[in-house]
Structure 1
């Protein structure tokens, strides 16, 4: 089990690094151009691998926590019980993060598909709604867990997952009238995936070198999310102005 876990972790880290390397290319390349599409697909596939392997890691933490994170042989029963509870709680946390990244890139691609297709295939429609529903359920569970165990990190990311789920549901259930709404949705979803990638890099790499004592570990989770959120808002407004969102929707 430990070997399978370690291989999964390696693939997870490698895919995350790849997504980070190509992250900026779709943002600066000509929208709809060959470079934009190719780099975008590399980022999408890498983030899909990150999401799937992340869910696998979270599942291991939930089902066999002490096999993948073993304690000392002389650990007391109380310590074993506490470690098991903690690892399972973080299993839910990382599962929610995995769903956030997976749902983000799925809805980013889904926005393009919805724009191009006159009628959506039933399988894709089911996955569209399953993605936001699962994200909402996991987000709610994480939010409630964070409130119960007084973990602001859990509560914040649970609330963020809920917010993302509601945004995805609103776009699917009540699509905006503007023809360019799909482009804004694609942009927002992909930037959401980018925020997850940057946050993972900050937590797994930067924190190890900049904060080895762990005194500021919460900041390595929150600062990238804050920058990603404000960056998404700013980038969205730039594109809304380019697309004439200040004018009547019939012209867009």
Structure 2
């Protein structure tokens, strides 16, 4: 069993490193080009392997349960981002697959919030306790929004070319998750009296900065399309 556990750990690490390195390419490559599509697929499947291997590591290797929820959070962003492209390509509305994924993400978010509340009631205040709430709320909000816009597309934040902006935000969010995992794994705070806050910063900081970059990117394309429409 130890050999198998180590194998899954290696697979998990390799997939995560692949997502981290390859994921930069589709962000810089020409949108819709061959390089963008191929590297985007590699990133997608690498994140899928990260999530799948996390299930094994938590169930059989004894890794922290929190890491499984983070993997689910990361893959939901990846999955929903790719689904935007697939629905656009196939010219189909939201399908059962989308609803099931959103429902599972909602269930995972409720689980995260429940675990966070349980630890608070036990009097435990740790980094995972805080992150259960942070990521739980974010995942709940994201999945709830998806469910509502699947039912009522007019409630989308982006009434025009919604698929394009949701693809950017979701895949960008997935990459931030991969980058965050890299930062956290390699951060060493030792016995620093500020270890709690430094660890929180390592977990949350990339999301804050990355979110700002994604926001600027979305605004850039919104303005670009507005100008193109007026000209």
Q: TM-score, normalised by structure 1?
A: 0.75
Structure 1 residue 114 corresponds to structure 2 residue 87: yes
- Rounded Cα–Cα distance in structure 2 between residues aligned with 1:184 and 1:214: 43
Q: Which of 182, 198, 205 is the aligned partner of 2:179?
A: 198
Corresponding residue to 1:159 among 134, 140, 145: 134
RMSD: 2.6
**Secondary structure at 1:213's aligned position in 2?**
coil
Cα deviation code 1:140-175 (max 9, x no counterpart): 224324533222443234332332332233233223
Count of aligned pairs between the two proteins: 216
Deviations for 1:60-118, whole angstroms, at most 9, x for unmatched residues? Answer: 36xxx4xxxxxxxxxxxxxxxxxxxxx7xx31x11210111110111001111232334
1:213 aligns with 2:186: no
Q: 1:157 to 1:238 in 2, by over 3 A?
A: farther
> What CA distance in whole angstroms lies between the structure 2 residues aligned with 1:139 and 1:235?
30
Question: Could you tell me which of 180, 186, 204 is aligned with 2:167?
Answer: 186
* Residues in 2 aligned to 1:172 and 1:243: alpha-carbon distance in whole angstroms: 27
Most deviating of 145-154 and 52-61: 145-154
What SS does the corresponding residue of 1:244 show, helix, strand or coil? Answer: helix
Residue of structure 1 in register with 2:7 after alignment: 7
Aligned match of 2:111: 138
Give unpaired runs (5+ residues) of structure 2: none
| Structure 1, 133-142 or 181-190: larger mean CA deviation | 133-142
Q: Take 2:18 and 2:130, find their aligned partners in 1: how far apart are those partners?
A: 29
Question: For 2:202 and 2:11, how far apart are their aligned partners in 1?
Answer: 22
Partner of residue 36, structure 1: 36
Any runs of at least 4 consecutive aligned residues in structure 1 with deviations exceeding 6 A, and if so which? none
CA shift in 2, pair 1:139/1:231, >3 Å:
farther
Report the Cα distance in structure 2 between the residues aligned to 1:58 and 1:158, rounded to whole angstroms.
20
TM-score, normalisation: structure 2: 0.81
**Contact 2:180–2:206 (Cα < 8 Å) also in 1:** yes
Q: Which of structures 1 and 2 has the bigger CA Rg?
A: 1
1:239-250 superposed matches below 5 A: 239-244=221-226
**Counterpart Cα distance in 2 of 1:50 and 1:167:** 21
Which residue of structure 1 aligns with residue 219 of structure 2? 237
Find the counterpart in structure 1 of residue 24 from structure 2: 24
CA deviation after TM superposition for structure 1 residue 183, in Å = 1.0
**Judging changes above 3 Å, is the alpha-carbon distance between structure 1 residues 153 and 24 closer, same or farther for their aligned structure 2 residues?**
same
CA distance in 2, matches of 1:131, 1:161: 13
Q: Which runs of 5+ in 1 are unaligned?
A: 66-86
1:244, distance to aligned residue in structure 2 (A): 2.7
